[in-house]
Amino acid sequence: MLEDLPAVRGVAVLRHCRRRITPGRVTGFVAERNGSIVGCVMARFNEGEKRFFMIESRLFASFNARESTETLPQLCMLLLTNQQNSWPQLIDGYAALKTVRVRDVRCSGYSVFLQFNPQRIVSSSAEVGPDSIRRRKCFLCLENLPAEQKGVLYKNEFLLLCNPAPILDRHYTIAHVRHVPQQIDGFVRTFLELAKDLSLSFTVFYNGPKCGASAPDHMHFQAGPTGAIPIEMESGIESRRQVWKTLDDVAVYSLNGLGRQVIVLEGEGVDDVESVVRRLIATMKSVIGIPEEPMLNALCSYANGSWRLIVFPRRRHRPKVYFKEGNDKVLISPASVDLGGLVVTPVEKDFNTVDAPMIEAIFSEVSLEKNRVDRILDAL
Ligand SMILES: [Zn+2]
């Protein structure tokens, strides 16, 4: 069929190409205008051109704060509506979200929500060791996304996508357009800018490569509705706050009585907040005594001219009960949302049996010890 179509010449026309097909080993691009095929190109493209077309083929919209007429939250909502009408896996995912069960678990001095969400089995039990990662196709790479999946291009670097297995009503994955490793270093600014561009509708999450990211080899954030995670409200309660210091006009405090260690940074200047986040990571490395990124999860939001970054310093990825056999196994694999107080389990038995002492033990095991967190905050 390809050979029957007139060739399309010139980049100006190629920019209208929408559909990529690969018959055998030759790559072709079908140009469509108003839904009709007007031509095709078959060629060998270099890496940059391939990426351009790959992004083009996934594009629902593009966002740039200065030029876009719609806000990023508006584009997110339009994307979700579009994908809920055209992508069966997402329709199923949101139908399943309507059937999740939630119960309140009252721990000592705080409470969490436990969510029974069977569709999270893939994420909660993801093998994230180097061998497993090497063997599998990366599910965040553009070429491996489901055919129907589209996204909002963010500053030409990230693609904001609907998460097909949502934990939250309106749950997004924000994946780098290239297969680059998950690490906060180099992306702190993007984390902050995303939170501002998504305010006041969404909060942005980051999971470290060794403590919750199901794709540790592909840089990504997530976003969910602001206020859906209990820690967002709890971090605003004065009586929980222990103020440590102010650095470059950024307030640094920890939260008490939550059964896990929580560091909060608040500030109005993007350069100041970025520099204190970098300093925090460097100090964590030095106190823990490691060269690589310290294990951490983080939530970032922006309101009333100020950023709030909530950081959970970690010492383990998964709790001991995760590795038990048979009936003793508890399938809870904590990441930012769970440590934020919305603990997800894909197993009904665990939903029915997990109690306050179990949550307290899990939080205590995966969280960095208090004395080390105190040393970090002292040294900051
Ligand atoms: Zn990838």
61-116: per-residue pLDDT in tens? 999 877 789 999 999 999 999 999 999 999 999 999 999 999 999 999 999 999 99
Whether pTM > 0.85 for this model: the answer is yes
* pLDDT surpasses 90 at 24: no
* pLDDT surpasses 60 at 283: yes
* pLDDT surpasses 60 at 211: yes
**CA 143 to centroid of ligand 1, rounded, Å:** 9
**CA 85 to centroid of ligand 1, rounded, Å:** 26
Query: Is-contact 296 316, C-beta < 8 A?
Result: no
**CA 179 to centroid of ligand 1, rounded, Å:** 4
pLDDT band at 39 (very low <50, low <70, confident <90, very high): low
Query: Is-contact 296 290, C-beta < 8 A?
Result: no
| Nearest by Cα to 72 from 179, 158, 167, 145 | 158
* DSSP code string of 96-132: HHHT-EEEEEEETTEEEEEEE-GGGHHHHT---SHHH
* pLDDT surpasses 50 at 342: yes
Please count the other Cβ atoms lying within 10 Å of the Cβ belonging to residue 108.
11
Instruction: Report which DSSP code applies to 14.
Output: H
**CA 227 to centroid of ligand 1, rounded, Å:** 30
Instruction: Report which DSSP code applies to 20.
Output: E
The pLDDT of residue 10? 41
* pLDDT surpasses 50 at 4: no
The pLDDT of residue 330? 94
The pLDDT of residue 3? 41
Average per-residue pLDDT in the chain? Answer: 90
* pLDDT surpasses 90 at 348: yes
What CATH topology corresponds to 72-317+362-379? HIT family, subunit A (3.30.428)
3-class SS of residue 246: strand
Does an H or E element contain 187, and which?
A: none
The pLDDT of residue 36? 64
**CA 217 to centroid of ligand 1, rounded, Å:** 7
The domain spans of the chain are: 2-44, 72-317+362-379
CA atoms within 13 A on the CB side of 188: 18
Which pLDDT tens digit goes with each residue over 137-172?
999 999 999 999 999 999 999 999 999 999 999 999
CA dihedral 102→107→110→114, nearest 10 degrees, is -20
